[in-house]
Amino acid sequence: MDIYDKNNEIIQVKSIEINFPVIKVNSTENGKSASLSPVPVCYYTQDENVISAKWSMKGCKTVYENYVKNGVTCVCDHLTSFVILMKPKPVPTNENDILSLLTTVGLSISSLFLIITLVIICIFRDLRNSERYKIMRHLVIALLCVNCFFLLLEVDAKESIPCNVLAAFLHYSLLAAFSWMLIISTDLFMKIKRPFADHSKRFTYCRFIGWIGPVIVVAVTAGITRENYASDKCWLDTESGTIWSFILIVCLTNLIIIVQLCVIGYVTFEKSKIPDQSKEEIQRFIRIRNMFHGILLLAPAVGLPWIFGVIIVFCDWKVVEYIYVVLNSMQGFFVWLSQCAFSKEVRQTIKKRFNNRVKHHSSVATVSSVTYKRNRVIIEDM
């Protein structure tokens, strides 16, 4: 951090603590609860004209425990003109508690369905070897990371470094989820455009794009913005424009996915009208059609909540916040619904495993019965 003295020479310090003396606050009026009384907050400005100054609290933390007796301490990463302003407590109503509870419960349920989906994909060999579910496995892992970091946002991180780290991890996991969603759509697009090409090699490159690509975006964004990377809410800062590094990528990804799905739907519809197709072509067409139906349910589950998330950045509407929380909480359920419950491939795999176990148990029972009868005959002959 660079701080300049009156001679414009750099002073290297980690943090500045400024203590204000005892603050006297009038008793609550009209019998209002003390929980609704205002609390002190450290503000600063670099404008010498105090009348036209725009006050900000970014880069400062206010320590005001028992401020009536001990005063207020401002812990900041810079030196400017400081002032103590009184503002209402950030948690005066139950609305924030309701949103926080909905977020915690919803993300927990979503994570449960994602774990069930991941177990189903990993436990069956046919699904593990399937190209579709190899990619789907990475998307589920990315969404699980998103849910975990979102749940950590409910814990107030007052220190700037943990807050920046949490914002970076959340930024990375969200970009990874959208990257894998785009990879799923692109994989199906390439299969329908080039049905006879070798698509197995592409998965090797997809892993680098899906996991390393977001690292580059986060590193470049954090390197350019530096101290303006994260806000006090442990998410990308809106005042410095850092949030646009996420919004632009989300909008561009959703646009590409929509265009690809439109092309896939059109080509699928046209191929369904072609007569006298071979058995191999019919089977390939059925697989592509099933994958297309799965993506049609999956794409809104991953992309739609963030349309409302972008609206929240520009409009502070409580209704939109509730819609965003509910949709974001149902991601895991829609992933399980589209990729497991409605998947013919999963149902056939489970049915095959069940039939094999039934045959195995019946064969074991038959062998045991024959062995028992043979031993009984031997004993009777003796």
Percent of the chain with pLDDT over 90: 16
Instruction: Indicate whether 149 pLDDT > 60.
Output: yes
The CB density around residue 321, as the number of other CB atoms within 10 Å, is 20
Exposed (0-12), middle (13-18) or buried (19+): which is 284, by Cβ within 10 Å? middle
How far CA 178 is from CA of 15, 161, 322, 334, 347, in Å, comes to 37, 26, 22, 16, 27
Instruction: Indicate whether 73 pLDDT > 60.
Output: yes
Position with higher pLDDT, 174 vs 375: 174
Tokens of residue 15, six digits = 């943090």
Backbone angles phi, psi at 194, to 5 degrees: -130, 75
Instruction: Indicate whether 19 pLDDT > 70.
Output: yes
Instruction: Indicate whether 174 pLDDT > 50.
Output: yes
Position with higher pLDDT, 137 vs 231: 137
Percent of the chain with pLDDT over 70: 73
Q: What is the mean pLDDT of residues 143-162?
A: 80
3-state secondary structure 27-73: CCHHHCCHHHCCEEEEEEECCCCCCCCCCECCCEEEECCCHHHHCEE
Instruction: Indicate whether 99 pLDDT > 70.
Output: yes
Instruction: Indicate the pTM of the whole model.
Output: 0.70
Distance (Å, rounded) from C-alpha 280 to C-alpha 85?
Answer: 74
Considering all CA atoms of the chain, what is the largest pairwise distance in Å, rounded to the nearest integer?
Answer: 115
Mean pLDDT of the chain: 77
Exposed (0-12), middle (13-18) or buried (19+): which is 139, by Cβ within 10 Å? buried
Top-level class of domain 95-348:
mainly alpha
Q: What is the mean pLDDT of residues 235-259?
A: 88
Would you list the domain boundaries of the chain?
2-87, 95-348
CA pseudo-torsion sign 331, 171, 137, 280: positive
Q: What is the mean pLDDT of residues 112-135?
A: 89
Amino acid identity for residue 201 in this structure: K
Q: What is the mean pLDDT of residues 35-43?
A: 70
pLDDT-wise least confident of 1-5, 118-122, 301-305: 1-5
pLDDT band of residue 319 (cuts 50, 70, 90) is confident
Amino acid identity for residue 134 in this structure: K
Q: What is the pLDDT of residue 218?
A: 94
168: closest CA among 242, 249, 250, 114? Answer: 242
pLDDT band of residue 46 (cuts 50, 70, 90) is low
Tokens of residue 134, six digits = 């190899």
Position with higher pLDDT, 32 vs 59: 59
Determine the Cα angle at 287 with ends 184 and 281, to 5°.
Answer: 125
Instruction: Indicate whether 2 pLDDT > 60.
Output: no
298: closest CA among 260, 254, 334? Answer: 334
Backbone angles phi, psi at 39, to 5 degrees: -125, 150
